[in-house]
Structures are given as C-alpha cells and as structure tokens.
Structure 1
Amino acid sequence: MSGEALRVDTASPVPPYEQIRAQLSGLITSGRLPEGERLPTVRQLAADLGLAPGTVARAYRELEAAALIRTRRGAGTRVAPLPSDLRQGPDPAELAELARAFVTAARTAGAPDPAISAAVAEALRE
C-alpha cells in the first residue's frame, strides 16, 4: 500500500484526517486492502501526502478504535480481520456523507452536475 492510493484535498471542508480515515475505511471494507496488508508508517504516509504526522496518527487511531487496523510494535500497522458487522458493506449514512462531501468539493471547484456524475461513474468503473 502506498500514499499514491490516497488523496487529500486540503481545500475541502472535510478535515484531512477524516479524508484519510474514510478512504482507508472504504478500502478495507471493500476488500481492496485485505486482512494482514501492511500500511505505511505514520511518518511515511504523512510525508507521502504532505501532511503533519499528527494528522495521519489521528486517522490511524480512529481506524484502530473501529477495529479496522492493528498496530503492533515491531510488526507495524496492518489491516485487521474485518468485523462481522462491516462485512455487509459500509454504513449507508457514512456513504451518503462521503458522497455529499465529494459533491460539495466538486461544486466548489466549479464542476457542473453532469461532470460530477461522470466522475463518479468513472471512479466506479476503476
């Protein structure tokens, strides 16, 4: 896993730690980051994204509290076994919140609704 898989929009109203948390949570719950996959260190991911280490550390703490990752001394941070309540997919309210945040950011950037819809459709095809 590398920082290139994550994107942080510093102009977004969504705090960077929440963007990281939401993206990693989505990658884990969708299975794109499988159980046991090693995540970058806090310092490495912060450097890759151009953020303060504390920002990444907060995202990791929240993911650990949600039982999505585990950090062990000497073994690093790895994707934890998916909790049974998340195996069915993400929470619809969380998904709606992420969609609203994307639409807000896209509109702020000046994108018209058809372009936003096309971007979502393209992302789903990837």
Structure 2
Amino acid sequence: MILSIDPGSAVPPFEQVRAQVAEQVRAGTVPPGTRLPTVRRLAEDLGLATNTVARAYRELEQAGVVETRGRNGTFVRASDAATDSAALAAAQDFVRQARALGLDDETALGWVRAALRAAQ
C-alpha cells in the first residue's frame, strides 16, 4: 500500500489517507485480508499525528472497508457482493437519469459530490 500526503492540499490529511486507502481497496490493489500498517507506523511513515491516521481508520471501519481485530491489527474486509451489486445498480440508474437530463460527466459528478457532502 502506497500513500502520500499533499500538505498543500485543501483536503485534510485524514481524508487524504481515508480516500487513498478506500480507492486502493476498491481497485483491488490492496486485497481483502491484507493487514494495514499500525496507526503509529503509518503516522510515522507519513509524518502525521497518530490521531489523524486513527481518524482515517475509524472512518474506513465505519464505512465497512476495514475491520479492527483488537491487538491483531486492522484488516481489509472482504467485499459484500450484494452491497456492491446494489451500489452499481444505483449508480447505473443515476447515469441513465443524468443522460436523460443532458448532463455531461463533469456536471453529473459534481452533483454526486454535492450529494455526498450534504449527506455527511
């Protein structure tokens, strides 16, 4: 797993960590069952506070991307095929509606990002 933090980014460091781990898991670069680095080790490697990495891991766990097994560490969870299938169907429905409205890809993605921010 390769992560990098852009200190000049407007995106907070915990979100950069969370998003990069989630994307690598989604892409299959980090497969299910992989043990993630400890919070302390990853924080040290990235030059971040341990609380920053801990927050990213907590959010990944809440999203079902990873699971913490106590002293054994934090591991990438196996994907839930039913959830993946439902998410894909919802995305395909949105794309059909966006196309019917004449939205280009960037505009459609902008609306998705806005909806995700509003849901937080």
| Secondary structure of residue in 2 paired with 1:27 | helix
Aligned length: 91
Note closer, same or farther for the CA distance 1:37–1:13 as it changes in structure 2 (3 Å cut).
same
Q: Percent identity?
A: 48
User: How big is each residue's C-alpha offset from its partner over 1:11-50, in whole Å with a ceiling of 9 and x where there is no partner?
Assistant: 1000000000000000001111101001000000000000
For the aligned residue pairs, the C-alpha RMSD in angstroms reads 2.2
State how far apart, in whole Å, the 1-side matches of 2:45 and 2:32 are. Answer: 23
Residue identity matched to 1:26: E
TM-score norm. by structure 2 comes to 0.68
Listed as ranges, the gaps of 5+ residues in structure 2 are: 92-107, 114-120
User: How big is each residue's C-alpha offset from its partner over 1:66-102, in whole Å with a ceiling of 9 and x where there is no partner?
Assistant: 00001112321100011333465xx7859x85xxxxx
Matching residue within 30, 35, 43 for 1:33: 30
Structure number with higher helix proportion: 2
Aligned 1:50-61 pairs, distance under 5 A: 50-61=47-58
Aligned 1:16-27 pairs, distance under 5 A: 16-27=13-24
Listed as ranges, the gaps of 5+ residues in structure 1 are: 98-126
TM-score norm. by structure 1 comes to 0.65
Please list every run of at least 4 consecutive aligned residues from structure 1 whose deviation after the TM superposition is greater than 4 angstroms: 91-94
Matching residue within 13, 38, 43 for 2:40: 43
